[in-house]
Amino acid sequence: MRVTLVLVWFFIPMVVLAHSTSQSSTVLVEGKNGQWTLQVRAALSAFESVVHQEYTANGYATPKEFEDLVFALMAKNLTLTINDREIVLKDPKIKLGHETLVVYLIDVPDNFETVSLNNTMFQDIFKSKNTFMILKNGVNRNVFALEKSNAFATKVKLEENEFILVEADESLADSTTNWYVFNFLFILAGVGLIVRLTMKKTDADEMNIDCE
């Protein structure tokens, strides 16, 4: 039963992604031997759309040239950071098909608590959404969305045996709000002072006129 569920879990994304240009996924996977991989899956049409937009459909003549262009674009649009240290992504492998898979063998710290991912590879595709998951041995699995609303970037942290989303720094938002309020009140006070001085000057001029 357990094996069946695992197979179903992997099979469903393959069926969906193979036919949907707007849907893609990025998965950080720990293998049984402790080797980590970063895997990006998307429909072949999604990769073609990005390559054609950047290099046109005539920018390559062979599958190998197409793969090289994909790697070049991935290098510009994919960033992985663990424990605030950027992970080197090199020597990618690609498997072309209706669902195309790009795989990086990577080195990660033995123990890590935070993971940041930025994947803008497919950001210009209409209604593009990239799902992000970390498959770490012994840790519960959660799925996170990379989409236009979060600029195709997310940061998660390990807490109580699962990765959870790191929310935006509320204190920074509060300080920004307070800065605007302070400036508004400062300007308002300045305007009030100018009005008062103007009124006093007017009253003084009227008194001088009366004296004359």
Residues 142-182 pLDDT 10s: 999 999 999 999 999 999 999 999 986 433 334 333 444 44
Number of domains in the chain: 2
Instruction: Kindly state whether residues 185 and 158 are assigned to the same domain.
Output: no
Contacts 24+ apart (CB under 8 A), 46-51: 46/21, 46/22, 46/100, 46/122, 46/125, 47/100, 49/21, 49/122, 49/124, 49/125, 50/121, 50/122, 50/124, 50/125
Instruction: Kindly state whether residues 161 and 189 are assigned to the same domain.
Output: no
Q: What is the mean pLDDT of the chain?
A: 82
Instruction: Kindly state whether residues 146 and 189 are assigned to the same domain.
Output: no
Instruction: Kindly state whether residues 202 and 159 are assigned to the same domain.
Output: no
Structure confidence by residue, pLDDT tens digits, 15-55: 444 458 999 999 999 998 899 999 999 999 999 999 999 99
Structure confidence by residue, pLDDT tens digits, 60-71: 999 999 999 999
Instruction: Kindly state whether residues 131 and 193 are assigned to the same domain.
Output: no
Q: Which domain holds residue 197?
A: 170-212
Instruction: Kindly state whether residues 144 and 204 are assigned to the same domain.
Output: no
Instruction: Kindly state whether residues 98 and 148 are assigned to the same domain.
Output: yes
Instruction: Kindly state whether residues 178 and 155 are assigned to the same domain.
Output: no
Q: Are 50 and 76 in contact (CB under 8 A)?
A: no
Distances (CA, A) of 165 to 4, 133, 136, 142, 147: 29, 11, 16, 9, 14
Instruction: Kindly state whether residues 160 and 175 are assigned to the same domain.
Output: no
3 vs 80, which has greater pLDDT? 80
Instruction: Kindly state whether residues 161 and 199 are assigned to the same domain.
Output: no
Instruction: Kindly state whether residues 49 and 152 are assigned to the same domain.
Output: yes
Instruction: Kindly state whether residues 208 and 133 are assigned to the same domain.
Output: no
Instruction: State what percent of residues in the chain have pLDDT above 70.
Output: 70
Q: Which of 128, 146, 165 is the last residue of a domain?
A: 165
